[in-house]
């Protein structure tokens, strides 16, 4: 067992102005790593080689990335360079297994001190064992990334089909746009008082929160409420085939969607677009998924912009003939079946990786 600072040099990167970071890659630019991974691309580099990077500032401090080639590390990333013979990929996985975020201090802006990282203990097997572990985990991680790429391509296939059938999502000249309020009702829910146990204990009514909206089909919920909880709050029962949109929430939550396959209730942060006859609800759901960025841009407020029922009611939806809506929805459902197969494989691989990490690093 050794101290991390005894076997590795840990050093924060170099400040770069946000104005000098390009969000897009262009020839002659280098990846710029901050505390949460790649921030963009810059004109110069601080390192050339392969190094684990530890995020030392922000909500995700303690996360570990592996940078290769020429790159720029900012002051919010700690570059880890072995002082002894060591497989860098093994070191990357070992650092991930250490759950470094637990050593962060500070509430508003969590941070990791290099001096603290240097004192952490790390058990180092011989180099042949490191190579074996790294090779096995790299193979599994490559398969995980391949499955994720497959999922992304399948999502892209649905968008491409939409454009082929109907034109550009928000700028089509083929069919009219109509506001949601012109063809159906939009409602929101509520949260029963958390301090009243009879509203929650042994509840049987499924209750959706915005954190459960991941552009997914809702067939069950994390929490359930009782009939008393429903009766004594703004929560209300919504039917299957309702499109849900997160009006506010942390991070990427605002604008995320769900599609109910069950009868359920929701909290007040969910806008519920009820089923109607003029639209295939599956088509409508896919349209809202494709509208994620537009919805987020329409949010109002300062520190934490929110959507509201009024924005959702007035949101313009492209209205092709119902027959074409049905054709598109059927295509999307076939793609979903393929995605489900890939997702199941991905989940098995992630479980395998987790088990291997446990076996190798405890």
Q: pTM of the entire structure?
A: 0.80
Q: Is the pLDDT assigned to residue 302 strictly greater than 80?
A: no
In this model, does residue 86 exceed pLDDT 90? Answer: yes
Q: Give the CATH H-level superfamily of domain 2-124.
A: DNA methylase specificity domains (3.90.220.20)
pLDDT of residue 362: 87
User: Does 113 have pLDDT greater than 80?
Assistant: yes
Q: Where are the alpha helices (DSSP H) in the chain?
A: 4-7, 88-97, 114-117, 127-166, 227-231, 281-290, 292-297, 309-313, 322-361
Band (pLDDT 50/70/90 cuts) for residue 105 is confident
Check residue 80 and give its pLDDT: 98
What is the enclosing helix (H) or strand (E) of 258?
strand 257-260
What pLDDT, on a 0 to 100 scale, did the predictor assign at position 323?
98
pLDDT for residue 76: 93
Tally of CB atoms within 10 A around 259:
22
Cα pseudo-dihedral 113, 119, 120, 123, rounded to 10: 150
Q: What average pLDDT does the segment 277-300 reach?
A: 96
140's CB contacts (< 8 A; 6+ apart) are 349, 352, 353, 356
Residue 36 has pLDDT above 90, yes or no: no
How far from chain centre, in Å, is Cα 214? 8
User: Which CATH code fits 125-171+320-362?
Assistant: 1.10.287.1120
Within 10 Å of residue 169's Cβ, how many Cβ atoms? Answer: 15
Q: Which residues, 6 or more positions from 224, have their beta carbon under 8 angstroms from its beta carbon?
A: 200, 203, 204, 205, 206, 207
Asked if residue 233 lies in contact with residue 265, where contact means CB atoms within 8 angstroms, the answer is: no
What's residue 58's pLDDT?
Answer: 77
3-class DSSP assignment, residue 23: coil
Using the predicted structure, report yes or no on whether residue 108 has a pLDDT greater than 90. no
pLDDT at 88 over 90: yes
CA distance 83 to 73: 19
Do 2-124 and 176-318 agree at the fold level? yes
Mean pLDDT taken over the chain: 95
At a CB cut-off of 8 Å and minimum separation 6, what does 249 contact? 210, 211, 256, 269
CATH architecture of 176-318: Alpha-Beta Complex (3.90)
Model pLDDT for residues 163-186, shown as the tens digit of each residue? 999 999 999 999 999 999 999 999
Q: What is the pLDDT of residues 218-237, one digit of tens each?
A: 999 999 999 999 999 999 99
Q: What is the pLDDT of residues 303-353, one digit of tens each?
A: 788 999 999 999 999 999 999 999 999 999 999 999 999 999 999 999 999
Q: How does pLDDT run across 119-153, given as a tens digit for each residue? A: 999 999 999 999 999 999 999 999 999 999 999 99
Sequence spans of domains, the chain: 2-124, 125-171+320-362, 176-318
* Nearest of 63, 82, 85 to residue 131 by alpha carbon: 85
Across 209-218, average pLDDT: 96
CB 257 within 8 A of CB 244: yes
From 240, 230, 245, select the one nearest 199 (Cα to Cα): 230
């Amino acid at each position: 067992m050794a101290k991390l600072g005894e076997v590795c040099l840990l050093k924060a990167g170099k400040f770069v102005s946000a104005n000098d970071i390009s969000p897009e890659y262009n020839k002659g630019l280098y990846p710029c790593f901050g505390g949460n991974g790649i921030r963009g691309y810059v004109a110069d580099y601080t390192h050339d080689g392969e190094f684990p990077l530890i995020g030392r500032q922000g909500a995700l401090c303690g996360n570990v990335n592996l940078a290769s080639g020429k790159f720029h590390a900012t002051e919010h990333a700690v570059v880890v360079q072995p002082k002894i013979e060591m497989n860098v990929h093994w070191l990357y996985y070992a650092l991930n297994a250490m759950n470094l975020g637990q050593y962060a201090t500070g509430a508003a802006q969590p941070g990791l001190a290099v001096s603290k990282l240097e004192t952490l203990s790390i058990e180092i097997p011989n180099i042949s064992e490191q190579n074996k572990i790294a090779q096995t985990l790299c193979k599994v991680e490559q398969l995980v990334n391949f499955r994720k790429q497959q999922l992304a391509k399948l999502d892209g296939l649905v968008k491409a089909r939409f454009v082929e059938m109907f034109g550009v999502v928000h700028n089509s000249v083929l069919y009219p746009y109509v506001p949601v309020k012109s063809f159906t009702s939009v409602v929101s829910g509520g949260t029963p008082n958390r301090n009243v146990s009879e509203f929650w204990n042994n509840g049987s009514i499924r209750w959706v929160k915005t954190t459960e909206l991941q552009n997914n089909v809702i067939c069950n919920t994390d929490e359930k409420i009782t009939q008393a909880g429903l009766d004594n709050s703004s929560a209300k029962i919504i039917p299957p085939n309702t499109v849900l949109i997160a009006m506010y929430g942390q991070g990427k939550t605002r604008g995320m969607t769900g599609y109910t396959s069950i009868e359920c209730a929701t909290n007040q942060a969910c806008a519920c677009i009820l089923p109607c006859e003029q639209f295939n609800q599956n088509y409508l759901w896919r349209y809202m998924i494709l509208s994620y960025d537009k919805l987020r841009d329409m949010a109002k407020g300062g520190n934490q912009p929110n959507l509201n029922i009024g924005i959702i009611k007035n949101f313009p939806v492209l209205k092709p003939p119902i027959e074409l809506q049905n054709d598109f929805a059927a295509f999307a459902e076939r793609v979903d079946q393929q995605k489900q197969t890939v997702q199941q494989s991905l989940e098995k691989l992630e479980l395998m990786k987790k088990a291997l990490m446990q076996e190798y690093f405890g």
